Structure 1
Amino acid sequence: MEPTSNAPVSAGEPGTAFLFTGLGSQYEGMGEALFAAEPVFRDTLERCHDALAPDLSPGILDVLYGSHEDRGRVHDILYSCPTTLALQCALARLWASWGVAPGQVLGHSVGEYAAAVTAGVFRMEDGLRMLSKLGQLLEALPFDGRMLAVKATESRVAETLSEGHPGVSVAAVNAPGTVVLVGGATAIDGIGTEFEKVGIRVIPLEVSQATHSPSIAPILAEYRETVRSVRFHPPRIPYISALTGTAMHKEICEPEYWLRHVSEPIQFVAAMRTLLARQPPGFVEIGPGSTLLRMGQQCAVNGKIGAAPWVPSITPEADDCETIAASRATLSGPALGPPPAPSTPLDRLVRHRVAELAGLQAESIHPARPLAGFGMDSLTALDFISTVEHDTDVRLPVHLLNDRLTIDDVTAYVGVRLAPDRRVQLLGEVAARRATDSDPARRPVDPASATLVSLREPGTGPPLYFVPAGDGDLFAFRDLVPRLAAEHPVYGLRPPSARALGRIRDVSMESLISRYVDEIRNAQPAGPYHVLGYSVGGIYAVEVARRLAQDGDVVDFLAILDSPVHIPGWVASLCAVLYGACNMLRLKSFARRADIRWLRRRLYGIADEGLRTHATVARKHEVLPYSGHIVHFRSRRSWIRALDSLAVGKSWTRVARGGREVHWIEGTHYELFRGDRPDVFADRLNECLRRRVYGAPPC
């Protein structure tokens, strides 16, 4: 059955179109210069290599940039499938780090997997796993056939096939005058000769396997098992299918779609014309070469492609960095040029902090370049926030850290929020008077006032309020939030810093809960409310729910996510000691240079100022019985269980007087919504929300 198009169309001008190349354009050493020069590109490829390291040898980085022998494997189907996907994901993320995010995606053959990853249909690691399995199955599949590109219209080719050519089928319609056929060697030779006799040019294609044809049938059953193990999500941006030639939405979440995708013809002309009808402001080929750009321009009706630029990412003919720089300038306007000298001490300070994180000279940091372009991931972003806050006493909301944020944006945001004494110190007395005496809305604000962070734009359903263990969890929640039911807006309650609270040991639980409740009511004046707390944040979530209920508000949903029921004094003291030691020994700087990802996360975790705040304020706090229902998510391999066993006479069972619903999740305390766990956790959480909030039956 032909799927229908349900893809949502955003209002306003559609975004840049990303075209993801299929197999056949790969070449040895593709992207090597970018790997050396661009941290975002390099980090993505390293993630891909690590994801398949246990099952693919030589690995992705070996095939791309290893020995001469290993590089030659880039053309073997076993390696070309996952390696192409890895390269495309790295290119897509590099473009996005520069502020060129896709408004719609279209992939050709294997390139459709990269398009799906970019659109959020499945995780990059799942795409790698699928294509690695597909490569294994294709390599083991005997094939004595051939592929043939025929320079004729689709109708002309169909007419010839209807005259009787068993064993020959259409594999792709790549352009209005180019159709690719596949079949047994004898049959392909016969139909090729027939076309040549009437003056139609044919081009034999060098292939080791014939995808997009009935010959794939023997591997579909085994491939189906791999595809069914993947968690799919509707695309977050318009997705043009090269299988159907139409825009698609939820239909590509069905495993059968991906089985059809590997065994049925590619309808690139129809898909490209669907994309052209949306009039993107630009086209970027995400892959090695410019094959799709040439084919795509041929698909324009009457040859009218308009004024939108069509640019490659890399090509085998030129240096990678020069090619992508020229394409970026063409797509985005004039190049940024050399960095101007810092205009203010604040500008100089922010540049210096970015340079420290990126390992660059401050003079080379351009203030108009997005921070993500300097390789700033979630860990370094957290460090950037804390250092700028320490220097300026201005809180930087986490949601500001998007792909397009620049140094100019940060200095403008901080500059109008500086307290008078810091304003005079950093900007000078004249500038301080000018900024403070102008628009009242631009006067300095209390740096401790903003603790509510928007993690997802408002939807039509009730908001979800997450209380994290510390500041760093707000970044980790970003992996979870896209997997939650789309109708819920999502907020995080950011723990205030010690500087905002004064002497932290004098801060009461009651005052901190009052701050959180006020923030929630500012966003949502009336209930019903939905509150969730992770780790020590679970204690705060229960107290927030209790305060809301005491004030007469309805709390429809309360969940604690692997939370201890009690924080002993020694745990709070340990958090404070570790935090101080990390700062004194400058372990964050070491963490930035560490190659071991889990070590980096642990170091950032113990140096988290928000975690110190929560642990210190909650020390020895007695959680009293709560009259409502509690949904309790627990990790099977969690140190929290050992901590709870020491809290004699205290348990969540005793707290939850309205009943407790327990859900066990595989993994450790730290894996609940990180790594491979968010899918499992999100499924359980969405099911609980449907039952508790909407009264839906269990799934």
Structure 2
Amino acid sequence: MAYDARTTHLLTLSADTSHALDEVARDTAARLARLGGASPAAWCAEAAGGPHSGQRMGVVGRTAGEMADRIGAHLAGEPVREVSVGHADPARRPPVAFLFSGQGAQYAGMGRGLHRTEPVFRAAFDRCAEAARPFTAVPLQDLLDPGAGPAVVHRLAHAALGTFCVNYALAELWRSWGVEPAAVLGFSSGEYAATCWAGVLDPEDAVLLLGTQVTLAERVTDGAMAVVGLGEEAALELLAETGPSVGLAAVISPGEVSLSGRKAELARLVDRLTASGVRTSALPVSSGLHSPLQEPAADELRAVAAGIRTRPPRIPLVSTVTGAGVKGPPAPEHWVRHLSGPVRFLNAVRVLDELGVRAHVEAGPGRALVGLGARCLPGEGRLWLASLGRSTDGTGPMLMALGRLHTAGVPVGWSGVYPGSRSAV
């Protein structure tokens, strides 16, 4: 079985009442403890076949003994992040949105474990990486090496296209596990993955457009970007006094934006803000993304976009270019606007909320978007879940997210997670 290659597994337990679930968990922990360091794969595959009652628990671990310890700690009242518990109501299944990361989320080794153990992820990543070869100095599989150096990982073309490959591969893996989004959104270059996943672009065409954009963007070498603790209105008032070489690059949250433009002018502006007590943070980018510096490349990008066939979205696509839903096939001007205009993440994530989305999964290498989303939409009743994490490799973070979704009542295709099990939800 494909899941035999995994080093981490998800065990699902359920019962009709919370008291009965605790009893099931206590009995299961006792039996798992007797297995010690053995793999829990067979147990997890059998449990995945269901049936799954309303009161649910998900436990992630590498060995049977580790799972037993985590169940025991949970029953003792300790917080255990690898254990999720919830009530699943078939009449109130929370809609899911995929949030696709942009460049900047990349890191050496991202997705390495999934590429090794998950055939669906590997096939999707390699498909996109092959399409990206004309735009990269090395195969994008090199980014999966934890020892990859900054020249490989942080070159703009590698960062944007490598992140796209991970985004697309994660979304394909989620789909193979039966998790289908009700809507999608992408931050910055993540917009390409979102439009691809919504059926607007084929993966190869998305890579062609993104590869063209980053190649054009790399021509700018005297740019800079910074995050500042201002709201959009205050930032625009400040920029009106600054001149045309610096612009609004992103509206990140209610009190946070990023600015982008000519390095010298932006540095003076940041110094002024810092001196006045405004929080600022420089970003490691020299291309001045989403700024007026990119406007000279508009005609070349427009020409490439005009030759690509697009389709209307098959599911709701919320664009961070406009901060609104996309109604039809995006025109070439959409990508020109994406090149030099701001990323409207705050507006877009609010649209997801208006659509009724309550579970947000970052389909990308980082967890920045779910953190930002939680700041944009504070309060209870929403799930913010990452698929990968910098400190871990393999399926662990994704299985923890799957456990959270399952215990919240999101349908799961268990025959995709554990082939051979029944596809109970």
TM-score normalised by the chain length of structure 1? 0.45
Q: Is the 8 A contact 1:30 1:64 kept in 2?
A: yes
Q: 1:153-206 deviations in whole A, cap 9, x for unaligned? A: 222222222334442211111111111111222211222222223211111111
Aligned-pair CA distance for 1:56: 4.0
Give the alignment of 1:256-267 within 5 angstroms.
256-267=333-344
The whole-number CA distance in structure 2 between the counterparts of 1:100 and 1:236 is 16
The whole-number CA distance in structure 2 between the counterparts of 1:78 and 1:102 is 28
Find the residue that maps to 1:196 and give its secondary structure. Answer: helix
Q: Is the 8 A contact 1:150 1:181 kept in 2?
A: yes
2:422 to 408, 412, 419: 408
Aligned to 2:43: none
Residue 332 (str. 1) matches residue 401 (str. 2): no
Q: CA 1:409 to 1:176, structure 2 compared with 1: closer, same or farther past 3 Å?
A: closer
1:59 to 139, 142, 147: 139
Residue 174 (str. 1) matches residue 252 (str. 2): yes
Residue 44 (str. 1) matches residue 124 (str. 2): yes
Q: 1:497-533 deviations in whole A, cap 9, x for unaligned? A: xxxxxxxxxxxxxxxxxxxxxxxxxxxxxxxxxxxxx
Q: Is the 8 A contact 1:64 1:74 kept in 2?
A: no
Q: CA 1:94 to 1:195, structure 2 compared with 1: closer, same or farther past 3 Å?
A: same
Q: CA 1:77 to 1:241, structure 2 compared with 1: closer, same or farther past 3 Å?
A: same
The whole-number CA distance in structure 2 between the counterparts of 1:166 and 1:138 is 18
| Higher relative contact order, structure no. (Cα contacts within 8 Å, ≥ 6 residues apart) | 2
Aligned-pair CA distance for 1:101: 0.9
Aligned-pair CA distance for 1:260: 0.8
Residue 220 (str. 1) matches residue 234 (str. 2): no
Aligned-pair CA distance for 1:243: 1.1
Q: Is the 8 A contact 2:247 2:261 kept in 1?
A: yes
Aligned to 2:96: 16
Find the residue that maps to 1:253 and give its secondary structure. Answer: coil
Whichever of the two has the greater Rg, that structure is: 1
Residue 32 (str. 1) matches residue 106 (str. 2): no
The whole-number CA distance in structure 1 between the counterparts of 2:148 and 2:332 is 38
1:188 to 258, 263, 266: 266
The whole-number CA distance in structure 2 between the counterparts of 1:153 and 1:182 is 15
Q: State the AA in 1 paired with 2:370.
A: L
The whole-number CA distance in structure 2 between the counterparts of 1:50 and 1:154 is 39
Aligned-pair CA distance for 1:247: 1.2
Find the residue that maps to 2:387 and give its secondary structure. Answer: strand
The whole-number CA distance in structure 1 between the counterparts of 2:269 and 2:247 is 11
Aligned-pair CA distance for 1:275: 1.1
Q: State the AA in 1 paired with 2:201.
A: F
The whole-number CA distance in structure 1 between the counterparts of 2:191 and 2:123 is 22
Aligned to 2:79: none
The whole-number CA distance in structure 1 between the counterparts of 2:263 and 2:162 is 29
1:315 to 360, 371, 389: 389
Q: CA 1:221 to 1:371, structure 2 compared with 1: closer, same or farther past 3 Å?
A: same
Q: Is the 8 A contact 2:94 2:408 kept in 1?
A: no
Q: Is the 8 A contact 1:94 1:373 kept in 2?
A: no
Q: 1:331-390 deviations in whole A, cap 9, x for unaligned? A: 11299xxxxxxxxxxxxxxxxxxxxxxxxxxxxxxxx95444468xxxxxxxxxxxxxxx
Give the alignment of 1:59-78 within 5 angstroms.
59-65=139-145, 68=148, 72-78=151-157
Q: CA 1:93 to 1:189, structure 2 compared with 1: closer, same or farther past 3 Å?
A: same
Q: Is the 8 A contact 2:295 2:339 kept in 1?
A: no
The whole-number CA distance in structure 2 between the counterparts of 1:106 and 1:170 is 20
1:281 to 358, 365, 375: 358
Residue 114 (str. 1) matches residue 193 (str. 2): yes
Aligned-pair CA distance for 1:135: 2.3
The whole-number CA distance in structure 1 between the counterparts of 2:243 and 2:332 is 32
The whole-number CA distance in structure 2 between the counterparts of 1:135 and 1:144 is 15
Aligned-pair CA distance for 1:65: 3.5
Q: Is the 8 A contact 1:45 1:87 kept in 2?
A: yes
Q: State the AA in 2 paired with 1:15.
A: P
Cα RMSD after superposing both structures: 2.5
Aligned to 1:295: 372
The whole-number CA distance in structure 2 between the counterparts of 1:153 and 1:281 is 25
Aligned-pair CA distance for 1:308: 2.4
Aligned to 2:180: 101
Q: Is the 8 A contact 2:128 2:207 kept in 1?
A: yes
Q: Is the 8 A contact 1:20 1:106 kept in 2?
A: yes
Q: CA 1:134 to 1:64, structure 2 compared with 1: closer, same or farther past 3 Å?
A: farther
